Homo-oligomer: A and B are copies of this chain.
Amino acid sequence: MQVIEWREGTLLFLDQTRLPLEEVVIETDDEHVVADAIKRLALRGAPLIGIAAAYGFVLALNKVSDPSKIPAAIERASVLLASTRPTAVNLFRALDRMKAAAEASLARPLHEFKIQILNEALALHREDESMCMAIGEYGAQLLPNAAVVVTHCNAGRLATGGKGTALAVIARAWELHKLKHVYMDETRPLMQGARLTAWELQRLGIPATLMTDSTAAFLMQRGLVNAVVVGADRITRNGDTANKVGTYGLAVLAKHHGIPLIVAAPTSTLDFELVNGSEIPIEQRSGREVTHIGGIRIAPEGVDVYSPAFDVTPGELISAIVTEKGVLRYPFRDAIERLRPERLPAV
């Protein structure tokens, strides 16, 4: 089973909230099921939620039988899917692309219109797959031999349409015999490291050790880490990077210990509309994700909780941003500007 797969008019995807204990596949032709899956993190990872939103868009328009209702359906699907999560820009980029493709095909007969938008979603998915390969290739070159790497959250197969971003770098370095060991942050509150990255690396046969998020500093202090490799949910024009909460702390620690921080992300993560990280909306998650684990209450009733899902790492703490188009170095502004897609005019 793939993480996400289009099969004859329906979408199949792994419910990631059930991993690693169960591999539950959800099959649906309802865009509301997709939107709900993104919200509850059954589908997560910035590139993957872009792909999922594209397929959700296709599902929504597949239901239309009266061509005059297409413009309203496009609008409804976009609003529904865009409202799922605020931080990862890939979601909005994918929806913009799907809308553009749909609008370009409005004059076609309905069945052709539907084929066109499905093709767009499939292309977006395939491009993501190639993007992962390229990121893995570029990123692996940056690691030293016998690298010992810390990674945070999950930026792997379960976060993309291919081999991942940070984990593609790690997997490619392993193939090239450059990687010695991976330490995985468990990544509270939702434990994507313990649940997802541990599961992926185990399947890849890559030697990896799980630790609490607080343990990374201890390893760095003892000189046991050569690099930190993470994904990204949104990167602004100056290289400021939103990623899973905890990334900023890792970045400060890496800087203090002279360890490079490598961000691996496709160019679809670049947000050319934002000048710097202070403009990135930060999703707040429910306190229950902190006070409960597996339905069991840990903290006392009535406790106040603060739970931002992401934080923003300033570009100056990032050694390299690895995209499918090559490696960017600080200061990032010019390099990022050169990656601006033609259809996005300079601000």
Which residues of A are in contact with B by a Cβ distance under 8 Å? 20-21, 183, 186-189, 191, 194-195, 198-199, 202, 207-219, 221, 245-246, 248-249, 252-253, 255-256, 287, 290-291, 293-294, 296-300, 302-308, 311-312
Q: Closest CB of chain B to A188's CB: distance in Å?
A: 4
User: A215-B306, A216-B249 are known contacts; what are 17 more A-B pairs with Cβ within 8 Å?
Assistant: A20-B299, A186-B290, A194-B290, A194-B291, A194-B303, A199-B300, A202-B300, A202-B303, A209-B304, A210-B305, A212-B245, A212-B290, A215-B307, A217-B248, A218-B245, A221-B248, A296-B296
- Taking a contact as CB atoms under 8 Å apart, the answer to whether A300 and B214 are in contact is no
Contacts of A195 in B (CB 8 A): 298-300
Assembly stoichiometry (copies): 2
Q: How far is it, in angstroms, between the C-alpha of A299 and the C-alpha of B211 when the chains are bound?
A: 11
- Taking a contact as CB atoms under 8 Å apart, the answer to whether A298 and B191 are in contact is yes
Contacts of A214 in B (CB 8 A): 187-188, 213, 245-246, 249, 311
Interface majority SS (helix, strand, loop, mixed), chain A: mixed
Q: A188-B188, A291-B210 are in contact. Are A218 and B308 (CB under 8 A)?
A: yes
Q: A216-B249, A252-B217 are in contact. Are A202 and B302 (CB under 8 A)?
A: yes
| A209 contact from B249, B252, B305, B311, Cβ within 8 A | B305
